[in-house]
Chains A and B, each alone.
Chain A
């Protein structure tokens, strides 16, 4: 799905009185101008071929089907993207694909699980409340149930007795899901590395996507880690259902 206004051959914007401009029967195949009034935009399909970018190798994408820009990174390599007015927020053109839109949505509404283990939980709550408001970056309200959560922020020392319940929490979360290890104790054991009852780093029992060191990390540190996680979400890292893993996972990351 690629949207471009003012494609060649199309009328440059529909007049308010021009009822037939976008309502023709060929709306599915013909380039149609983007309607000027927003009320009609809800009812009409707008399908415009991509005229911005073509692949160097025409059969590289989908066996020779018309190329479409599927990723912001590809689009950023074009001449158009290098212009100052072509920022992501000020785009006239949104070259995209449903997966990419879904990734954007996932990355900007991360729902962490409210599971504080020890000291770091206080700083995690501090990151979520007034002064450093995590909601501003789309890291959303803390969910009390693992079945409603995307991200497991392991905040605090993990003891051997708690490792079983924590692993179960991780398994109860629906995919796709991500894990953030917050604090030195969860990264490597930290100051309790010498203890007889702690797990030296939670990556001994479960996968971790982002490590946030510090004892405890400042709330800004946690927010920075979550912003790194947002990049990873867009890169399709993390734990996905089996059918969604495959060609979408980039090489070398």
Chain B
């Protein structure tokens, strides 16, 4: 009988578990590798480490943060990433162009359509495709619905991290209605797999339209009522005002995009700055605020929901007839070259950069996720605040860990 001697490999979980890697020890078992590590892991007078995560109810996923505390005040922090690294970019390099849409969905599991959108944009640029207008309208319609669902979830979570349980019960009602509606359109509640290179997967159907109609008739008042729970709550407003203030220069220097940037007073919206799809034809405002604190970030998202409702209304009125897919071959072999797609998602600017070498699989697909960028600014925003404010500031930035770790 042959005894198999197996070399330990990094991707064998049992090997990983055998090594006592000390995951819950705040101080890493190895000597400091950088100057920053050496500085961070040296305790000053009266300071201590507290390990937060990777399992923590309000880290919005599996994020680990090592906090250096002085009393109840956060002095410094060190985020540890990679607990949700699924290797999507590598899988995409080994996938057919059509199959990549499916792989990209789980990166942004709250508003999946915005992860598919830059990819199909980039692929259409490589193929020089003309997308039918009806398909573009359907993309914008479903995308804005998804944006409202994401912002509704944000309102609930933000209040949950500040200690209020009720708003999430209300926001999940809205989210479930929208998601069921999109499920009737796309076939799935969360990971839609709906956009295709050259169009969308299915046309508007009766169930979707009837659900959308009944929801739209009361959406504005319902969302108004839900936001009133927080807008007029003195505890919430006092707590969130001035918390995690980000000024304009810092936001621009750290490449913050999306609502977090617009809350500091910069009216940058990819839909207006680098127009794509049919957004130039639509009438909507880009709301901004100047305070740059958590309350401003929250109120800005409330304003965005109202603008999204306007866009949906215009899409429904202007929806043209016609095909929903361009004529494309089953097997796509784009010309060798590079393409870039960017969309405005509820979190910020999603960007994909694709390099094609002429085969049926991309040579490289680089995914840029704004959640990762926003998480980088936590190290500037949190120190000086109390421990309880850490998760509140993080929640106000609204990161999704799927996109951070990819």
Residues of A within 8 A of B (CB): 114-119, 121-123, 125-126, 129-131, 142, 144, 146, 156-157, 159-169, 191-192, 194-199, 204-205, 215-216, 218
Contact = CB atoms under 8 A, between A and B. Distances in A.
Contacts of A125: 168, 172
Given A119-B190, A129-B168, A216-B191, 10 more contacts: A119-B106, A119-B191, A142-B57, A144-B57, A159-B83, A160-B12, A160-B16, A168-B24, A192-B87, A197-B11
Interface band, chain B: 35 or more
Contacts of B402: 118-119
List the 9 closest A-B pairs by CB distance, nearest first. A119-B109, A129-B172, A195-B87, A144-B57, A163-B13, A131-B176, A162-B83, A114-B57, A197-B87
Contacts of A115: 55
A151 B281 CA distance: 52
A164 B61 contact: no
Contacts of B94: 194
A191 B86 CA distance: 10
A163 B16 CA distance: 8
A126 B176 CA distance: 7
B84 interface: yes
A122 B109 contact: yes
Given A130-B170, A165-B54, A169-B55, A198 B21 contact: no
Interface string B137-181: 000000000000000010000000000000011101101100100
B83 A129 contact: no
Contact of A198 (B57, B87, B103, B175): B87
17 contacts: A118-B106, A119-B190, A122-B109, A126-B175, A131-B172, A146-B55, A159-B83, A164-B16, A164-B17, A165-B54, A165-B55, A169-B55, A191-B106, A192-B87, A205-B13, A205-B14, A216-B189
A214 B110 CA distance: 17
B102 interface: yes
A125 B189 CA distance: 14
Contacts of A114: 57
A118 B84 contact: yes
Interface of B: 10-14, 16-17, 21, 23-24, 54-57, 61-62, 82-88, 90-91, 94, 102-103, 106, 109-110, 153, 168-170, 172-173, 175-176, 179, 189-191, 401-402
B169 A197 contact: no
Nearest to A131: B176
Contacts of A195: 86-88, 90-91
A196 B172 contact: no
Contacts of B91: 192, 194-195
A123 B153 CA distance: 12
A119 B190 CA distance: 8
A143 B383 CA distance: 28
A161 to B, nearest CB: 5
A164 B83 CA distance: 10
Contact of A123 (B106, B173, B189): B189
A165 B62 CA distance: 10
A216 to B, nearest CB: 6
B364 to A, nearest CB: 17
A8 B185 CA distance: 66
B329 to A, nearest CB: 25
A204 B10 CA distance: 15
A162 B402 CA distance: 13
B208 to A, nearest CB: 17
A162 B94 CA distance: 25
